[in-house]
Amino acid sequence: MKRGTQIERKANAAATCINSMSRRGFLQSLVAAGAVTTFGDVGDVAPAVRFGYITDCHYAAHIKPSLLRHYSDGLLKMETFAATMNGQGADFVVEGGDFKDLGRTREESLEYLRAIESRFAAFKGPRYHVLGNHDHDNLAKDEFLAEVANEGQTVAKAFYAFERNGVKFIVLDACYRSDGTPYDRGNFSWKEAFVPAEQVKFLKDELASAKGPCVPIVHQQLDAEDETCIRNAAEIRDVLEKSGKVQLVVQGHAHEGAFREINGIGYFTSPASVLGSTPANAFSLVEIYPSGGVKIIGFQMAKGAETSWIPGAWTADRGWRKGHYQVHYIYTGRSECMFHIFPDGTSMLLDCGDTMRFFRTAAEVPLPCPPSIRAGEFAARYIQRVNPKGDEVDYLHLSHYHEDHGGGERYHGGILGRSSLGAFNLCGIADAARFLKFGCVIDRAWPGFDDPLDVLKTSRDGTPRQMRALYAHLAEMQGTRFEKFGLGAKNQFHLQDAAAFPDFNISNICANGRYVRKDGSVCDLYADRVKAGATVLNENGMSCGMIVEYGLFRYYTAGDFSDGWRKSKGGGREEIENSLAEAVGRVHVAKLNHHGHHSMYPELVKSLKARVWTCCSLDRQHCTDDTMTRLADRSLYDGPRLMLPTYMPLNRPQTAAGRSYLPDVAACVMAQPCHVVLDVPPGGETYTFSCFSATQAGNPLKGEFAFIS
């Protein structure tokens, strides 16, 4: 097991009452996730096999509940699983390891094992076990296996294969140290797992003899090389890929649950049953089709993905649902572009630029569309698909006046139109406005474009002039209203149905070189420079920023907020991000300043302590090694973290900082550009990230990660 997080509860789930076999004598509600992940051609035919899967129960009666884990609820949760699978008519069931947790004595561990095995045996059909690391906490392999039953085995085996209706299931035991030493009575590390040579040969032989599709099942993960995964995972994946018979691997260990696709094989990490108190639970019904296609139906906290099928790829649809807060990081390859959908359906487009990056060969990244379709049009078409109001967007907010955020005068497709305040070009937001209608624009320096200095005459890329003319056009043609970004405001970006979601709030924390401290006072970072007669300031430092709160969940975004200067009398460099640190506090998700390009300095990182770091990538210099190294620095804050830019290209100049941060980067965004979608359900107790290929037809799902707030 890994310190992990739970999968989101499905807000619109269907509820079914099941008679509980609980010793506590009450009826438990089983909530079906109402969501399905499919892979391959499932068609209209009946599945060949349907089996139930549950993992990481960690049953131990004496261990007190923690924030994440409720060990003593394991028996109730297993009863619910068995009853559900009986009701679903599953062909068999599998528990994926970490069946029980550490007893205070060997005998107590055996008692826990016997107790949860008896609940597992309530399933009226074949049952199978997978060894997990905690199954060895004070028991040897043989001692554990002597207490459990695998269908068709006189004595339960640690690794084995069995067939059902033409589908072969191959169970592996990765509970070995990397030198091949088996786990034994506490001699294990959850960070070290290995499949020994004997089992590698066994796997090859079973795959070779299989006449139909194969489904490997293992406790630890095979889909990456980080500290929680099997040390020779790459070797095992190579065996699976060469066989041509594997489309799905089922695994556990990482409590938050995840999904990743690697070279056509989907790696489904089921979330842990131990997360949350009863009736919270997590398990799945897995259907394997004659073609090898897969459907995974999640129950309670086990979340799949509502899907349609695209040949040869995992696919999913992250449609907004009422009560959910979503942020879509739209990969255009040319700009920063985020589309926010608030819990009541109110929406906000935050930035949408265009820099024509494909002309810069050294920095070129894959474009998600033909060059003739500019970033604004591409983003608008994406928004029309996901926006509950179609082409109507409630708020347009430009974080600051740079072309990669709003569009300017340097890279454009010619004059698009004229307003009472001048001509504007086919570029960025103006391009998107051909397809979208904006109710309100919130701008950092409206209407004078002069806070703290006049930028209409000094802007290098002409974005303020572009936006001024466009704003007039929107007012004249769409009836759009305009407001200046209110520093310190807490309801400027408000819901239309605010009363229904009182725990949703957006606080404006910085703009125009100023930020609001937690006590309400304002720090003006550029006051001395303006007083000294400065005529030009770094536009990045003028970026607007905000904190979004939804129940327990907190989110940070602040455009390109970054700048610095040398301190007086030969001192070091002053980074404004370090100053902002006093205004923010801990968040769950943070969008990187300046696309992660030489940004995110230590004090800000230490203050935010984000579990997930995200951004829109524009070119091969994003995110830079020095930034990523700071984000990965455990001396700034402890604990796991995930780096999730829309693209993390590795074929770029390497800095002296090196690449030690790579284990924290999601593998799916290193393989290809992705649209990244954050989804936060009501209450903000959990949140999920889904990554969809931005360059493959159908935008197949490439990775999914879920967390607890």
Distance (Å, rounded) from C-alpha 622 to C-alpha 682? Answer: 33
Q: What's the mean pLDDT in 458-470?
A: 95
Which residue range(s) make up the domain with 40? 14-315
Decide if pLDDT at 97 tops 90.
yes
Which residue is it, tokens 């509940």? Answer: 65
- Kindly indicate the confidence band of residue 18, based on its pLDDT and cuts at 50, 70 and 90: very low
Q: Helix, strand, or coil here: 554? A: strand
- Kindly indicate the confidence band of residue 453, based on its pLDDT and cuts at 50, 70 and 90: very high
Tokens, residue 354: 């265009």
Q: For residue 684, tell me if it sits in a domain.
A: no
Which pLDDT belongs to residue 226?
65
Residues 435 and 477 in one domain: yes
Q: For residue 673, tell me if it sits in a domain.
A: no
- Kindly indicate the confidence band of residue 266, based on its pLDDT and cuts at 50, 70 and 90: confident
- CATH number, position 26: 3.60.21.10
Backbone angles phi, psi at 109, to 5 degrees: -60, -40
User: Which of 287, 315, 343 is the last residue in one of the domains?
Assistant: 315
Which pLDDT belongs to residue 69?
84
510, 516 Cβ separation under 8 angstroms: yes
Residues 281 and 426 in one domain: no
Decide if pLDDT at 580 tops 90.
yes
Residues 302 and 378 in one domain: no
Q: What's the mean pLDDT in 457-485?
A: 96
Decide if pLDDT at 622 tops 90.
no
Residues 293 and 331 in one domain: no
Residue percentage of the chain with pLDDT more than 90: 66
Q: How many CA atoms lie within 13 A of 186 on its CB side?
A: 7
User: Which of 253, 287, 315 is the last residue in one of the domains?
Assistant: 315
Residues 305 and 341 in one domain: no
Identify which has the larger pLDDT, 190 or 241. 241
Tokens, residue 706: 């879920």
Q: What's the mean pLDDT in 478-494?
A: 96
The secondary structure of 190-216, three-state, reads CCEECCCHHHHHHHHHHHHHCCCCEEE
Q: What is the pLDDT of residues 655-690, one digit of tens each?
A: 655 688 988 998 889 888 999 999 998 999 888 898
Q: For residue 687, tell me if it sits in a domain.
A: no
Decide if pLDDT at 301 tops 80.
no
- Kindly indicate the confidence band of residue 6, based on its pLDDT and cuts at 50, 70 and 90: very low
Q: For residue 438, tell me if it sits in a domain.
A: yes
- CATH number, position 391: 3.60.15.10
304, 33 Cβ separation under 8 angstroms: yes
Which residues does residue 514 pair with via DSSP β-bridges, in sequence order?
A: 511, 524
Q: For residue 681, tell me if it sits in a domain.
A: no
Residues 299 and 374 in one domain: no
Residues 549 and 504 in one domain: yes
Which pLDDT belongs to residue 307?
29
Q: For residue 670, tell me if it sits in a domain.
A: no
Which pLDDT belongs to residue 359?
53
Which pLDDT belongs to residue 310?
30
Which pLDDT belongs to residue 389?
96
Question: 30, exposed or middle or buried, with CB in 10 Å at 0-12, 13-18, 19+?
Answer: buried
Q: Which of these, 432, 340, 338, lies nearest to 380 by C-alpha position?
A: 432
Identify which has the larger pLDDT, 504 or 263. 504
Residue percentage of the chain with pLDDT more than 70: 88
Contacts for 368-373 with beta carbons within 8 Å, 24 or more apart?
368/331, 368/332, 368/333, 368/673, 368/694, 368/695
Q: What is the pLDDT of residues 428-448, one digit of tens each?
A: 999 999 999 999 999 999 999
Q: What's the mean pLDDT in 63-81?
A: 88
Distance (Å, rounded) from C-alpha 383 to C-alpha 363? Answer: 27
- Kindly indicate the confidence band of residue 169, based on its pLDDT and cuts at 50, 70 and 90: very high
The least confident of 19-33, 118-132, 319-333, 396-410 is: 19-33
Q: For residue 544, tell me if it sits in a domain.
A: yes
The least confident of 29-43, 299-313, 686-700 is: 299-313
Residues 306 and 333 in one domain: no
pLDDT mean across residues, the chain:
87
Q: Helix, strand, or coil here: 465? A: helix
Q: What is the pLDDT of residues 349-394, one digit of tens each?
A: 999 999 865 555 567 788 898 888 999 999 999 999 999 999 999 9
3-state helix, strand, coil in the chain (%, to 5): 20, 30, 50
Decide if pLDDT at 22 tops 80.
no
Decide if pLDDT at 1 tops 50.
no
What lies within 8 Å, CB to CB, of 272 at 6+ separation is: 1, 4, 6, 55, 56, 57, 58, 69, 98, 252, 255, 257, 282
Decide if pLDDT at 70 tops 60.
yes
Which residues does residue 590 pair with via DSSP β-bridges, in sequence order?
A: 556, 613
Decide if pLDDT at 49 tops 90.
yes
Decide if pLDDT at 32 tops 70.
no
Domain count, the chain: 2
Q: What's the mean pLDDT in 234-260?
A: 91
Residues 337 and 260 in one domain: no
Residues 88 and 31 in one domain: yes
Decide if pLDDT at 26 tops 70.
no
The least confident of 264-278, 521-535, 671-685 is: 264-278
Q: For residue 78, tell me if it sits in a domain.
A: yes
Task: State which H helix or E strand residue 468 sits in.
Answer: helix 463-477
Residues 309 and 331 in one domain: no
CA 66 to chain CA mean position, Å: 24
- Kindly indicate the confidence band of residue 465, based on its pLDDT and cuts at 50, 70 and 90: very high
Decide if pLDDT at 341 tops 80.
yes
Which pLDDT belongs to residue 703?
83
Identify which has the larger pLDDT, 315 or 200. 200
Distance (Å, rounded) from C-alpha 183 to C-alpha 195? Answer: 12
Which residue is it, tokens 């610095």? Answer: 564
Decide if pLDDT at 620 tops 50.
yes
Tokens, residue 17: 């009452």
Decide if pLDDT at 704 tops 70.
yes
Residues 340 and 292 in one domain: no
Decide if pLDDT at 303 tops 90.
no
